Amino acid sequence: MPGRNIYLIYGALRDKAVDEIAGLLFPHASAVILTSPAQSRAISAPVLAEMTAHHARRAEVIPDPKLAFERALELAAPHDVIFVTGSLYLVGDLRRYWMSRAADRAGIS
What is the pairing mode between strands 31-34 and 6-11?
A: parallel
Would you place residue 108 in the very low, low, confident or very high pLDDT band (cuts 50, 70, 90)? low
Q: Can you give the pTM of this predicted structure?
A: 0.90
Residue 109 has pLDDT above 60, yes or no: no
The model's pLDDT over 31-78, given as tens digits with 9 standing for 90+, comes to: 999 999 999 999 999 999 999 999 999 999 999 999 999 999 999 999
Calpha distance 23→18 (Å, rounded): 8
Q: Where are the domains of the chain?
A: 6-106
Beta strands in 12-95 (DSSP E): 31-34, 59-61, 81-86
Would you place residue 107 in the very low, low, confident or very high pLDDT band (cuts 50, 70, 90)? confident
Q: Which CATH architecture has domain 6-106?
A: Alpha-Beta Complex (3.90)
